[in-house]
């Protein structure tokens, strides 16, 4: 049996197992399995891999950045982003990859934005920032923790000029199942038709943030397409 998994602290929101179960069934891979594995910490990571015979695994909140020092190597994208959402296992060698960034980039299609706001500064936010740099889009992080001036605070959004086209990406877990009646955005009244709100959350959809944005005339998009694309890219790495 070839075993694959998703690790994170809380995984009740995840559709990853559903995606891979469907993929394995479609491909006739009855000797492949994928499961969700909640970890309180990463201390026993290598023991778990060895004991369970894990061939590869995905990584989600809150470990996309924390796992980096525990790996043997990173691919160029993961090294640049500083975050990992996919790990390939070859014997005792763990290699970190980032399929979030190319997946996010692909979901933007032909749409182009001059500027963006990224809510959060974690692993998903860093992948989004990498993709936006590839497109030459200027971006600003929005965070409760303003580290050395790297981000603006949420309180500053009320005075932000939204008269120009602005892409707003929620890369935080706020609003994700089961905490569905929360939004990371404190002032929905400032949003308008110039805005595109892209919430990386896909469970639920629409999120409260998306509903609030739509009520103000903004375009909205959830993260389900990105989930499927990053999973498909992970599978290409696993089957090598």
Catalytic residues: 64
Q: What is the dihedral of CA 47, 53, 59, 62, to 10 degrees?
A: -30
Q: Give the neighbor-by-neighbor strand order of the sheet with 2-8.
A: 32-38, 2-8, 54-59, 86-90, 93-97, 73-74
- Contact indicator for 96, 73 with CB cutoff of 8 Å: yes
For residue 143, CA distances in Å to 87, 152, 217 come to 28, 6, 24
Q: Return d(Cα 30, Cα 175) in angstroms, integer.
A: 35
Q: Return d(Cα 214, Cα 60) in angstroms, integer.
A: 28
Q: Would residue 190 be called left, alpha or beta, if left means φ above 0 and alpha means ψ between -120 and 50 degrees?
A: alpha
- Contact indicator for 229, 200 with CB cutoff of 8 Å: no
């Amino acid at each position: 049996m070839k075993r694959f998994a998703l690790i994170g602290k809380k995984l009740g929101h995840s559709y990853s197992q559903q995606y891979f179960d469907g993929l394995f069934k479609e491909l006739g891979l009855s000797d492949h399995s994928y499961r969700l594995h909640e970890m309180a910490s990463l201390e026993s990571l290598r023991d778990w891999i060895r004991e369970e015979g894990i061939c590869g695994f995905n990584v989600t909140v809150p470990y996309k950045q924390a796992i980096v020092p525990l790996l043997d190597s990173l691919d160029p994208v993961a090294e640049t982003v500083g975050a990992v959402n996919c790990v390939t296992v070859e014997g005792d060698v763990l290699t970190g990859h980032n399929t979030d960034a190319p997946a996010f980039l692909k979901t933007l299609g032909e749409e182009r934005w001059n500027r963006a706001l990224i809510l959060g500064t974690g692993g998903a936010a860093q992948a989004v920032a990498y993709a936006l740099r590839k497109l030459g889009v200027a971006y600003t992080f929005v965070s409760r923790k303003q580290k050395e001036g790297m981000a603006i605070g949420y309180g500053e959004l009320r005075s932000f000029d939204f008269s120009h086209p602005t892409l707003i990406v929620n890369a935080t877990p706020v609003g994700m199942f089961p905490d569905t009646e929360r939004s990371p955005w404190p002032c929905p009244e400032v949003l308008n038709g110039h805005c595109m709100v892209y919430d990386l959350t896909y469970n639920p959809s629409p999120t409260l943030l998306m509903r609030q944005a739509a009520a103000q005339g903004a375009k909205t998009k959830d993260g389900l397409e990105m989930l499927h694309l990053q999973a498909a890219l992970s599978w290409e790495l696993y089957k090598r």
